Amino acid sequence: MIKKGINSQKTILLITFMVCLAGAGLLFAQAPGLVIKDIKKGTGKEAFNGSNVTVHYTGWLTTGKKFDSSKDRGKPFSFDLGSGQVIRGWDKGVQGMKEGGVRKLTIPPELGYGSKGAGADIPPNSTLIFEVELLKVY
């Protein structure tokens, strides 16, 4: 009976800790190595797997070199969340965002472009940093 009480207390402490991390925007995603930091919490509709979403984004290498930006082009980007249309770090990192929200995603190579890289701008095994603004969830 004492053991059951201790386990219940540990569970409550763990849940409390996770709620605090989530509230501070410091909760790590379920994907290993993916780090999510909420810059601005949205107040609109929430994105989940199967949602069609429209975002503005800017991507940098860890060196600080910008390699892409929908904002610079003035054209938002739309995709179906969780369908594999984008790198896995985006599929995992955009989940749970609400319209109007802005997130910083630090994406390890395994959830980005891996050992192949992408064109001349993203070398193999690159960790990617994205700032993503969720404009619309359909």
Catalytic residues: 57, 67-68, 87, 113, 130
Q: How far is 23 from 65, CA to CA, in rounded Å?
A: 31
Which helix (H) or strand (E) is 67 found in, with range?
strand 66-69
**Spatial contact of 52 and 81, defined as CB atoms under 8 Å apart:** yes
Within 10 angstroms of residue 47's Cβ, the number of other Cβ atoms is 24
Element counts in the chain: helices (H) and strands (E): 3, 6
Contacts 24+ apart (CB under 8 A), 113-121: 113/87, 121/67, 121/68
